[in-house]
């Protein structure tokens, strides 16, 4: 089996009893530790109106961590283009690249009404039973119809965009970003535009996707790297990577497809300890899928008091069942299954525990065992 590198995805989680400032300080420390442990990249997700997540601005976090580290690649996973313009994105990341050249990954994701429509469409499709591929669980797709109808979701999108604004097509936005970076942008009227900073910089461009839809096809036709979200949408990870590879068009910059796949992981000295540290995950995911906004991550003692309904258990079953929590040997085995089933060239690990020290230790134990 080919060796694949490990990278980190940080949501900048806020634990119960902590502040956003605590979370950011922990992020800086964890990035420094991840660099020391040998992880290849350190990425930041973008989330809004979530009390338990402080990662609202990947560019700010990247710039902050870049000044505190030396070698590890830093990037977004990803900036949400539904409420950003291509020019603002290129200028922000161009400035970071100018200060820290050769270390920047620009991950581009979707959000907004288009994803809501996808949630609604997915809810209307027949349920496909769970399957196991090379030992990897591919659960049935959950019912997102409630999330698609959520007024809170509409509130979030409304606050992120100017009144009356409509986001352009995602593929068109990606095309504009590439043109601005390469210095080839022309408007519909033939006017040139040159982004300074930004033009001529060479961040590594990634497309993030949770299904075999537009993100996978945009990544493939543009010969870009693709990150598939097993930790967010485990039911459609194989669909996503297959669609990307089918759409891929080779280029001099990237002659063959390159896939990273994410997994939610908690590692401790033994399986029982890891499961205890991960016990707040279910209620945390529930808060997201109920469109309440991610709650501050609970301590194991808090998680034990949560009262579950059958409906709530069904809502989070796919995520809880595909979290890898265990000893280094247990988690390594499951990550190998994920890599074999998806053919991933790289694995991206995201870990949330209540205590920062447990989170650091999880990354350390996994790196030590993986590198053996």
- Residue 120: is its pLDDT beyond 60? no
Q: Return the structure tokens found at 149.
A: 């109808």
Residue 278 lies in a domain: yes
Which backbone phi and psi does 138 adopt, to 5 degrees?
Answer: -115, 100
Residue 227 lies in a domain: yes
Query: The domain containing residue 339 runs over which residues?
Result: 6-371
Residue 148 lies in a domain: yes
The Cα-based distances of 348 to 94, 151, 168, 283, 331 in angstroms read 24, 32, 29, 23, 13
The Cα-based distances of 333 to 134, 261, 329, 348 in angstroms read 11, 15, 6, 15
Residue 49 lies in a domain: yes
pLDDT over 70 percentage in the chain:
94
Per-position DSSP letters for 156-189, written without gaps between them: HHHHHS-TT--PPPHHHHHHHHHHHHHT--B-TT
The answer for residues whose C-beta is within 8 angstroms of residue 319's C-beta and 6 or more apart is 231, 232, 234, 264, 281, 282, 285
- Residue 366: is its pLDDT beyond 50? yes
Residue 189 lies in a domain: yes
In this prediction the pTM is 0.95
- Residue 370: is its pLDDT beyond 80? yes
- The sign of the CA dihedral 193, 195, 198, 204 is negative
Q: Average pLDDT, whole number, for the chain?
A: 93
**Domain CATH number, residue 179:** 3.20.20.30
Check residue 309 and give its pLDDT: 96
- Residue 290: CB atoms within 10 A of its CB come to 16
Coil/strand/helix, residue 202: coil
**pLDDT tens per residue, range 294-320:** 999 999 999 999 999 999 999 999 999
Between 369 and 141, the more confident residue is 369
Residue 1 lies in a domain: no
Total tally of structural domains belonging to the chain: 1
- Residue 112: is its pLDDT beyond 70? no
């Amino acid at each position: 089996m080919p060796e694949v590198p490990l990278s980190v995805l940080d949501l900048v989680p806020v634990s119960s009893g902590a502040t956003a400032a605590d979370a950011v300080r922990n992020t800086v420390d964890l990035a420094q530790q991840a660099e020391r442990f040998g992880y290849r990249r350190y990425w930041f997700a973008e989330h809004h109106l979530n009390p338990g997540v402080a990662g609202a601005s990947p560019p700010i976090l990247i710039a902050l961590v870049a000044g505190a580290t030396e070698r590890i690649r830093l990037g977004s996973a990803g900036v949400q283009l539904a409420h950003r313009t291509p020019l603002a994105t290129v200028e922000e990341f161009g400035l970071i690249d100018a200060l820290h050249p050769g270390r920047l990954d620009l991950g581009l994701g979707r959000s907004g009404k288009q994803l809501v429509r996808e949630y609604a469409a997915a809810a209307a499709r027949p349920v496909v039973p769970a399957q196991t591929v090379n030992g990897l669980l591919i659960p049935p797709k959950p019912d997102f119809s409630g999330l698609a109808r959520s007024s809170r979701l509409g509130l979030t999108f409304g606050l992120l965009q100017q009144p009356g604004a409509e986001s352009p097509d995602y593929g068109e936005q990606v095309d504009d970003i590439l043109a601005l970076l390469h210095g080839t942008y022309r408007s519909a009227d033939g006017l040139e535009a040159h982004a300074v900073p930004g033009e001529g910089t060479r961040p590594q461009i990634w497309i993030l996707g949770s299904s075999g839809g537009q993100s996978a096809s945009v990544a493939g036709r543009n010969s870009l790297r693709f990150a598939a979200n097993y930790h967010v949408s485990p039911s459609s990870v194989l669909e996503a990577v297959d669609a990307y590879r089918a759409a891929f068009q080779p280029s001099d910059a990237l002659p063959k497809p390159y896939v990273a796949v994410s997994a939610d992981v908690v590692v401790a000295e033994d399986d029982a300890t890891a499961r205890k540290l991960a016990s707040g995950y279910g209620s945390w995911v529930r808060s997201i899928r109920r469109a309440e906004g991610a709650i501050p991550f609970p301590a194991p003692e808090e998680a034990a008091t949560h009262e579950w309904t059958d409906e709530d258990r069904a809502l989070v079953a796919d995520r809880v069942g595909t979290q890898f929590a265990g000893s280094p040997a247990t988690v390594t085995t499951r990550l190998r299954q994920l890599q074999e089933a998806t053919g991933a060239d790289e694995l991206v690990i995201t870990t949330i525990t209540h205590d920062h020290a447990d989170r650091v230790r999880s990354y350390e134990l996994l790196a030590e065992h993986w590198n053996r």
